[in-house]
Amino acid sequence: MSAFNPEGAAFEAGRIMLRRLDELADSGKSFAFESTLSSRTFSVFLKRLKSQGYHVGLCFVWLNSAALAKERVALRVQMGGHHIPSDVIERRYARSIQNFRNLYLPIADEWSIFDNSELANPLLVAEGFDKQPASIFEEESWNKIQTI
């Protein structure tokens, strides 16, 4: 990977991550990973894990707007983190929420959604277990998530 080719480095890092996830899945060990869920890739992977007997738990950390997501990325950049273009953030924001609802939620054995819009006060919005009806704790946030 090369710092002079950030796109190539990101692609290679993604390949390394997928290879490592396959190794962990084949080992039968418990593990966790982070994703924006903006792609469908991990839905296939999680279905495979379930067929191997894994218990799938999802924790979705939500922000109440794409504008806030852009602010958080700008803050991360100020602290030395990597930049993501605004158009990519916009595209990923809605797609991540839609994929969580439509692709990933049906796979999960248990799930929770946290509203992290206020850094000092993350809120549990909703949670669910074993296909039972969701427990909703923050109705306004839950309704917004359902309409994005």
> Both 9 and 72 in a single domain?
no
**pLDDT tens profile 25-55:** 999 999 999 999 999 989 999 999 999 999 9
Same domain flag for 4 and 42 = no
84 and 54 housed in the same domain:
yes
73-129, pLDDT tens digit by residue? 999 999 998 899 999 999 999 999 999 999 999 999 999 999 999 989 999 999 999
pLDDT bracket for residue 68 (50, 70, 90): very high
- Same domain flag for 23 and 39: no
- Enclosing domain of residue 29: 1-33
Shared domain check, 55 and 27:
no
Exposed / middle / buried, residue 26 (Cβ in 10 Å: 0-12, 13-18, 19+)? exposed
Cα distances (Å, whole numbers) of residue 100 to 7, 48, 77, 81: 26, 17, 26, 25
**Do 38 and 106 share a domain, yes or no?**
yes
Per-residue pLDDT band at 131 (split at 50, 70, 90): confident
| 76 and 140 inside one domain | yes
Q: Are residues 110 and 137 in the same domain?
A: yes
When divided into structural domains, the chain yields a total of: 2
- The answer to whether residues 125 and 88 belong to one domain is yes
Q: Are both 81 and 137 inside the same structural domain?
A: yes
Q: Whole-prediction pTM value? A: 0.86
Position 11 scores a pLDDT of 73
- How many residues would you count in the chain? 148
Q: At 61, which amino acid appears?
A: V
Q: How confident is the model at residue 4 (pLDDT cuts 50, 70, 90)?
A: low
